[in-house]
Structure 1
Amino acid sequence: MSRVVLAGADAELTRRVQDAVDGDVHALPPGRLPGDPTRLFEQLVDGELPDVLLIGTLAPQAEVLTLAGRLDVQCPGISVVLVAEPSPELWQAAMRAGIRDLLPPTAGPAEIAAAVDRAGSAAAGRRRVLRPTQETASYTGRVITVASPKGGVGKTTVATNLAVGLTAAAPQSTVLVDLDVQFGDVASALGLLPEYTLPDAVHGPASEDTMVLKTFLTQHPSGLYAVCGAESPAAGDAVTGPDVTRLLAALAREFRYVVVDTAPGLSEQTLAALDRATDVVMLSSMDVPGVRGLRKELDVLRELCMIPAGRHVVMNLADPRGGLSVRDVETAIGTGVDVVLPRSAAVPPSTNQGVPIIASGRRDPVVKELRRLVARFAATPLVQPGRYRAKHRAAS
């Protein structure tokens, strides 16, 4: 039996669905459907993802279509079934959004069970097809550059947690590059003792042969690979913009995700990383100096035409006592804020211990928001469908 999550349903539909799947369904509370799949699944027990998302008539169809379209891209192993009055127009819109099936509002338990079985089989088939492709694909990876105009805003913390989170989604397929060439501390944040560092990776034999380059990487216990920062500022200064361009191009051919931690401001190396990036995470602390610096940096990058299509604005160290709201920040920078990371007393100890908080197993609001950031890049669910029925019954 497939794992089923039910949304937008009244009590009567909930009863029929429970009858159809022998009670093995997680019904979400009523309310608006979020457009972001990660927001939807944050409401689930232990973060388990379903095989089938069944949506009832209480959810507005426009919201359903938006959510289904995003699920089809971000979580292809989940099938969506919509309960609605079928019409040719709705069928066409549903097919475009990737909805697997439509059920009439009067559907009984037998009809619902048959639709769930079809959708569950389709979800399982897509996962079987996608998994070998993901494991054997020839990569032209996403280069995700984490940038900020100022220091002290948690850039390395965000970059390391993002990289470790993506490693969970793509084991052995993520690499983190420390491009703070003078004072990079990725190695410290990950608890690594690298044999080779950034200058070794861009000079000598590693710069000429990708197979050699991979032997110069340092591996984290999570499966993440890292190009750690230089041992001294003088050694780091020997790394040029063209060196960075060649390095990132080589890594993107070998890894699905290349996460780049940069120095504050717009150094030659940071500009090279931005020029190569498919995505940029623009990071700021949630205070007036940080927000003003971010606005200036965004203005400069717009003038240089160096903001890639994948732009993600992240506010770190958010504190309601600081006096700034997200709306204030958005007004100041002239664009939306995508992720807000709250200030957390658990982050400094995790950094000092070299254990990214996203891998610590802690239940902390900042971990929840870091996972939302990771989910913006992961092409497949971060949590694979597991033994949902057993857990759900135990919790019932």
Structure 2
Amino acid sequence: MTYVALAGAGPDFERTFAEATGGAYLSMPGPVAADPDVLLAHVNGAGDPEVLVLDSRADADSALALADRFTAERPGTVVLLASDRSDEVGLRAMRAGVRDIIPTTADATEIRQALQAAVSTANRLSTSVANSQPGEGPGGAKGRVITVISPKGGAGKTTVATNLAVALARTMPHSTVLVDLDLQFGDVATALNLTPDYTLPDALPSAASADTIALKTYLSLHLETGLYVLAAPEHPAAADTISSAQISQLLQLLATEFTYVVVDTSPGLSDHTLAALDQTTDPLLLTALSVPGARGMRKVIDTLSQLQMFSGGHRVVVNFADAGHGMSADDVEATLGVAVGTSLPTSKAAPASLNRGIPLMQSRIRDPLVKALTPLVDSLLPDGITLEGRGKHRGARRGAR
């Protein structure tokens, strides 16, 4: 059973919180000090909560300091922040290890969905803590690294990567970072209508020194979805100054801080892409529905097989998978010798969404691409969580462990 605690809540938020949980939570006073021991002195030996929600309206600085201490000293506790100023505190909350920000105006359903995601994260963390090894990230937890690769340009890698990352971030806010590894011509920032202050080369020294706090300062927050982004360099020549080892260090560190690391790549199998694949848990092999695309992907699969990478463990995604091109998904499977995991139809709205910088998963419009991507997103989410929030709520009992 999961033990949920709420600290320092105003009466308005606590009423809605009680409705969302059916009263199955432990209420504590506000954070009078940035010390977990001081707060937990009020729980009469109940121990560390798996999920702790801090209402930050009375004293945001103390709440964030307390969240930072919980993250560092009690990695098995998932900390959420209730705030009426999410735009102002979002980056500070991320640096403090807060997993999600709940608006204090949220209704019971929205609070319940946030808690459901937090409970799933807490369950994963408890397993990771039990199995952690020295040298691992906080609590031994390691996120999933989802890398989208394609042998040729024009297959829709950036569209797939950005929509996938937005969908994950929308479902589990502040859980996802999107890395643009198309180091010469990456346009993830454009696809999200972001003007980043920093780009990937700025973050590499912090990754090399394993300084997670400094690393996070180089991420750009996509306010509309809660997605964090590490943009590609501004100039193509910067790619020549970045080594494969630096990419490995970067992704390793990000995977200790985020549940999901989504990586967009340049076409083909560059050294940088192979370095990313070394850290990847979920490779998505993307091809357009075309003879050149399928033949190129066959070479990618053969190369990965020779390198003994992902034998049977990758997912093939076919984009623009519409009839009338003189080729079918069956033809692709015959060429590749492996099954097609996901087929994505042509979306008339996708080019416009890319030009506007508003991914389809952000605008939530009804579109064939959104419908086809949804099962892929759901397969990456924790058990009981779905993109549309239709998962079962795992009830929290007061003081239960």
Same fold (TM over 0.5): yes
Residue of structure 2 equivalent to 1:101:
none
SS in 1 for 2:380: coil
Residue of structure 1 equivalent to 2:267:
264
CA distance in 1, matches of 2:362, 2:342: 19
2:188 pairs with 1:186: yes
Give the percent of matched residue pairs that are identical in Structure 1 and Structure 2: 51
| Cα-to-partner distance string for 1:295-352 (whole Å, 9 max, x where unaligned) | 1110111111122664111000122110111111111100000111101111000000
Cα distance change, pair 127–233 in 1 and its aligned pair in 2 (3 A):
closer
In the alignment, residue 221 of structure 2 is paired with which amino acid?
Answer: Q
Q: Give 1:169 deviation, angstroms.
A: 2.5
CA distance in 1, matches of 2:294, 2:124: 40
CA distance in 1, matches of 2:311, 2:245: 19
Residue of structure 2 equivalent to 1:216:
218
Q: How does 1:53-68 map to 2 (within 5 A)?
A: none
Residue 382 of structure 1: which of 363, 387, 398 is its match? 387
CA RMSD, aligned part only?
A: 2.3
Residue 142 of structure 2: which of 119, 140, 143 is its match? 140
Residue of structure 2 equivalent to 1:317:
320
SS in 1 for 2:239: helix
Moved more, 126-135 or 185-194: 126-135
Residue of structure 2 equivalent to 1:274:
277
Unpaired runs of 5+ in structure 1? 1-123, 387-396
The 8 Å contact of residues 182 and 237 in structure 1, kept in 2 or not, is answered as: no
Cα distance change, pair 326–237 in 1 and its aligned pair in 2 (3 A):
same
Residue of structure 2 equivalent to 1:201:
203
| Cα-to-partner distance string for 1:13-53 (whole Å, 9 max, x where unaligned) | xxxxxxxxxxxxxxxxxxxxxxxxxxxxxxxxxxxxxxxxx
CA distance in 2, matches of 1:308, 1:374: 22
Calculate the TM-score normalised by the size of structure 1. 0.63
Q: Give 1:168 deviation, angstroms.
A: 1.9
Cα distance change, pair 280–345 in 1 and its aligned pair in 2 (3 A):
same
In the alignment, residue 382 of structure 1 is paired with which amino acid?
Answer: L
The 8 Å contact of residues 178 and 228 in structure 1, kept in 2 or not, is answered as: yes
CA distance in 1, matches of 2:176, 2:155: 23
Residue 249 of structure 2: which of 246, 249, 267 is its match? 246
Moved more, 343-352 or 373-382: 373-382
The 8 Å contact of residues 207 and 213 in structure 1, kept in 2 or not, is answered as: no
SS in 1 for 2:340: coil
| Cα-to-partner distance string for 1:157-204 (whole Å, 9 max, x where unaligned) | 10000100111222101001011111111100111100010111113x
| Cα-to-partner distance string for 1:210-258 (whole Å, 9 max, x where unaligned) | 1100111001120010110000011222111000000000000000000
Unpaired runs of 5+ in structure 2? 1-112, 127-138, 392-401
Residue of structure 1 equivalent to 2:31:
none
Q: Give 1:373 deviation, angstroms.
A: 1.6
Segments of 4+ in structure 1 off by > 4 A? 126-129, 134-138
SS in 1 for 2:151: coil
Residue 291 of structure 1: which of 289, 294, 297 is its match? 294
SS in 1 for 2:366: coil
Calculate the TM-score normalised by the size of structure 2. 0.62
SS in 2 for 1:295: helix
2:119 pairs with 1:130: yes
Residue of structure 1 equivalent to 2:12:
none
Q: Give 1:127 deviation, angstroms.
A: 4.8
Moved more, 206-215 or 352-361: 206-215
The 8 Å contact of residues 279 and 308 in structure 1, kept in 2 or not, is answered as: no
Aligned residues: 262
